[in-house]
């Protein structure tokens, strides 16, 4: 029997958990089916020999500040959950061949760092930042929680947010624009242009001209106003809080529950078939799997209009990653800081695989993540999926491709190789396998102004999508926003 209030969510990424949690709160019978034995998707944590590793994200802003724009915080508040965090500043160090700068959330401390490299550039960076902070301030009047992905959003905005809407009007051209356009209008200095490209790349996988301006405005605003913080217990703590919130409102999470097919009859969703063969019926199914996985593997080709399917599957993808998860001895590393970005070669583009390496050492903030006198490290860099196969050369290729990460780590901990007690090297195949993501991609590479994100709707009645291929801005806040938009669209509720 199909229960009219049942909703099945395929996947427990942050997008799926936010949608499922909110729908449970709204009174729906929400069931989240997750393939993996651990929830959280790209944001899950895992434990090996006493080390708690973040599989992906470890950079967060505004998880606890009541004024924060972070949609994760808004969902946690609704569900009655919260997490503990450790604030820190500087938020990281950027290591370029020409020098290292500390990146402070507090702009007044950040500009002098840039000034050491380029005084004129520091002034231009300030102009760029202030332009985007204006947009952030205008965005603050309309919480994501109030939004939905259908025409009724207009009613909500006109009824409850008219003054904020008016405040947004002067910024409308900027909302449509790329961070690159703002950079072109404010920054000439080549070094600062590269710095802006780097920050956009860290955020979206694309440089400034590919990254939408509101995404950068959000990042700059949240980090300077709400501050940067690390969740106690790692990324998994955010996932656990969302799971607790889902269950608190009667929702269910089924782990090790792989959905094989979304069942469609006469253009309408009727449920899903699990790998076990069991059929779960529901009039609403929300897929948190990527656009490629949903349309290629979970639906039959005939379920979708051919043109729509083809266009969706042609969505360009950001590359996958090489990962290095290390447990190391910490003796003599008392002054270590937590986030580092190393650019090896200034002559090469920052997006070239291996050239830009991201490093986080979260045990400097939360010592419980590693055994006593040890640290936990996650380093990663872009790596194309093509060419990777589990053949005889696999182990050797893995070690070779991890060398750029080791070289980056040596800039921070020169004797890193002698300190390693746990070493896990992940390739695009690892990423694709554990995260159930098409080619292990970071997400869609839809450049600003070059295409529309497909949103939560699909051509199939009752089938919706959430996650990083539905909304601009890959990252935890963006996918949480996608969960909110989807959940709100399915109920008749208007937040004030």
E-strand stretches of 275-319:
279-281, 284-287
- Residue 223 and residue 164 in contact, taking contact as beta carbons nearer than 8 Å: no
With CB under 6 A as the contact rule, which of the stretches 8-16, 144-152, 173-181, 386-394 interacts with ligand FAD?
A: 8-16
Kindly state the smallest distance separating residue 426's Cβ from ligand FAD, in Å: 9
- Residue 260 and residue 106 in contact, taking contact as beta carbons nearer than 8 Å: no
Q: Does residue 182 bind ligand FAD (CB under 6 A)?
A: no
Kindly state the smallest distance separating residue 42's Cβ from ligand FAD, in Å: 3
Considering beta carbons, is residue 93 or 193 the nearer one to ligand FAD?
A: 93
Kindly state the smallest distance separating residue 35's Cβ from ligand FAD, in Å: 4
- 20, 21, 56, 233: which one contacts ligand FAD (CB under 6 A)? 56
| Residue of 204, 196, 199, 168 whose CA lies nearest to 180 | 196
Q: Does residue 57 bind ligand FAD (CB under 6 A)?
A: yes
Considering beta carbons, is residue 245 or 467 the nearer one to ligand FAD?
A: 467
Considering beta carbons, is residue 177 or 288 the nearer one to ligand FAD?
A: 288
With CB under 6 A as the contact rule, which of the stretches 50-58, 76-84, 176-184, 205-213 interacts with ligand FAD?
A: 50-58
- 6, 58, 224, 356: which one contacts ligand FAD (CB under 6 A)? 58
| Residue of 448, 69, 9, 463 whose CA lies nearest to 257 | 9
Q: Does residue 258 bind ligand FAD (CB under 6 A)?
A: yes
Q: Does residue 271 bind ligand FAD (CB under 6 A)?
A: no
Considering beta carbons, is residue 43 or 85 the nearer one to ligand FAD?
A: 43
Report the relative pairing of strands 463-465 and 252-254 from DSSP bridges.
unpaired
The single-letter DSSP state of residue 68 is: -
Site string for ligand FAD, 291-330 (x = CB under 6 A): --x----x----------------------x---------
Bond preceding residue 90 cis, omega within 30 of 0: yes
Instruction: Give, as ranges, the residues between 365 and 424 that touch ligand FAD (CB under 6 A).
Output: 380
Cα 287–chain centre separation: 17
Task: Give the CA angle between residues 222, 139, 163 to the nearest 5°.
Answer: 145
Kindly state the smallest distance separating residue 131's Cβ from ligand FAD, in Å: 23
The rounded distance, in Å, linking the Cα atoms of 392 and 14 is: 36
The rounded distance, in Å, linking the Cα atoms of 324 and 426 is: 6
Q: Does residue 442 bind ligand FAD (CB under 6 A)?
A: yes
Q: Does residue 475 bind ligand FAD (CB under 6 A)?
A: yes
Determine the longest span between alpha carbons in the chain, in angstroms: 69
- 192, 259, 416, 486: which one contacts ligand FAD (CB under 6 A)? 259
The rounded distance, in Å, linking the Cα atoms of 378 and 230 is: 14
Q: Does residue 427 bind ligand FAD (CB under 6 A)?
A: no
Q: How many residues in the shown chain lie near ligand FAD by CB under 6 A?
A: 38
Q: Which string of DSSP letters, residue by residue, matches 142-185? A: S-GGG--SSTHHHHHHHHH-HHHHHHHGGGHHHHHSBHHHHHHH
With CB under 6 A as the contact rule, which of the stretches 54-62, 91-99, 140-148, 218-226 interacts with ligand FAD?
A: 54-62
Q: Does residue 436 bind ligand FAD (CB under 6 A)?
A: yes
Considering beta carbons, is residue 110 or 230 the nearer one to ligand FAD?
A: 230
- 101, 435, 446, 485: which one contacts ligand FAD (CB under 6 A)? 435
Give φ, ψ of 216 to 5 degrees.
Answer: -70, -40
Considering beta carbons, is residue 165 or 232 the nearer one to ligand FAD?
A: 232
The rounded distance, in Å, linking the Cα atoms of 428 and 437 is: 10
With CB under 6 A as the contact rule, which of the stretches 14-22, 206-214, 310-318, 415-423 interacts with ligand FAD?
A: 14-22
Residues in a beta bridge with 275? none
Q: Does residue 42 bind ligand FAD (CB under 6 A)?
A: yes
17: CB partners within 8 A, 6+ apart: 32, 39, 40, 239, 242, 243, 246, 483
The rounded distance, in Å, linking the Cα atoms of 162 and 392 is: 63
E-strand stretches of 83-138:
85-87, 92-96, 99-103
Considering beta carbons, is residue 121 or 338 the nearer one to ligand FAD?
A: 338
Interface with ligand FAD (CB under 6 A): 10-16, 33-36, 41-43, 56-59, 258-259, 288-289, 293, 298, 321, 380, 435-437, 442-443, 467-468, 474-477, 479
């Amino acid at each position: 029997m199909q229960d009219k209030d049942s909703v099945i969510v395929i996947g427990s990424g942050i997008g799926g958990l936010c949608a499922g949690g909110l729908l449970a709160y709204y009174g729906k019978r929400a069931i989240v089916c997750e393939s993996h034995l651990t929830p959280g998707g790209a944001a899950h944590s895992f434990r090996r020999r006493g080390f708690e590793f973040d599989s992906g994200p470890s950079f967060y802003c505004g998880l606890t500040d009541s004024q924060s724009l972070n949609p994760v915080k808004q969902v946690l508040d609704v569900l009655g959950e919260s997490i503990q965090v450790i604030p820190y500043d500087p938020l990281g160090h950027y290591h370029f061949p020409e020098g290292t700068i500390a990146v402070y959330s507090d702009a007044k401390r950040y500009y002098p760092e840039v000034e050491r490299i380029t005084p004129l550039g520091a002034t231009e960076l300030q102009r760029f930042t202030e332009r985007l902070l204006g947009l952030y301030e205008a965005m603050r009047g309309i919480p994501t929680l109030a939004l939905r992905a259908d025409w009724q959003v207009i009613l909500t905005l006109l009824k409850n947010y008219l003054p904020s809407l008016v405040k947004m009007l002067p910024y409308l051209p900027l909302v449509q624009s790329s961070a690159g356009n703002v950079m072109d209008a404010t920054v000439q200095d080549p070094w600062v242009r590269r710095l802006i490209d780097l920050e956009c790349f860290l955020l979206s996988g694309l440089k400034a001209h590919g990254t939408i301006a509101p995404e950068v405005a959000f990042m700059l605003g949240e980090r300077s106003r709400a501050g940067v913080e690390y969740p106690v217990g790692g990324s998994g703590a955010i996932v656990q809080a969302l799971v607790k919130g889902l269950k608190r409102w009667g929702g269910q999470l089924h782990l090790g529950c792989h959905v094989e097919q979304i069942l469609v009859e006469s253009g309408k969703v009727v449920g899903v078939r699990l790998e076990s063969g069991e059929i779960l019926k529901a009039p609403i199914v929300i897929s948190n799997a990527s656009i490629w996985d949903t349309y290629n593997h979970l639906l039959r080709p005939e379920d979708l209009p051919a043109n729509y399917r083809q266009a969706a599957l042609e969505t360009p993808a950001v590359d996958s990653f090489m990962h290095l998860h290390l447990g190391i001895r910490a003796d003599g590393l008392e002054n270590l800081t937590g986030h580092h970005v190393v650019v090896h070669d200034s002559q090469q583009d920052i997006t070239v695989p291996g050239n830009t390496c991201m490093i986080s050492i979260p045990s400097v903030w939360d010592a419980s993540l590693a055994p006593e006198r040890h640290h936990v490290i996650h380093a990663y860099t872009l790596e194309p999926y093509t060419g990777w196969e589990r053949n005889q050369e696999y182990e050797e290729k893995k070690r070779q491709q991890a060398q750029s990460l080791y070289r980056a780590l040596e800039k921070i901990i020169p004797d890193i190789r002698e300190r390693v007690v746990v070493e896990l090297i992940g390739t695009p195949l690892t990423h694709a396998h554990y995260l159930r993501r098409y080619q292990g991609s970071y997400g869609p590479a839809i450049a600003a102004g070059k295409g529309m994100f497909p949103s939560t709707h699909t051509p199939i009645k009752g089938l919706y999508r959430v996650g990083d291929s539905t909304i601009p801005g890959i990252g935890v806040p963006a996918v949480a926003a996608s969960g909110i938009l989807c959940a709100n669209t399915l109920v008749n509720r208007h937040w004030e």
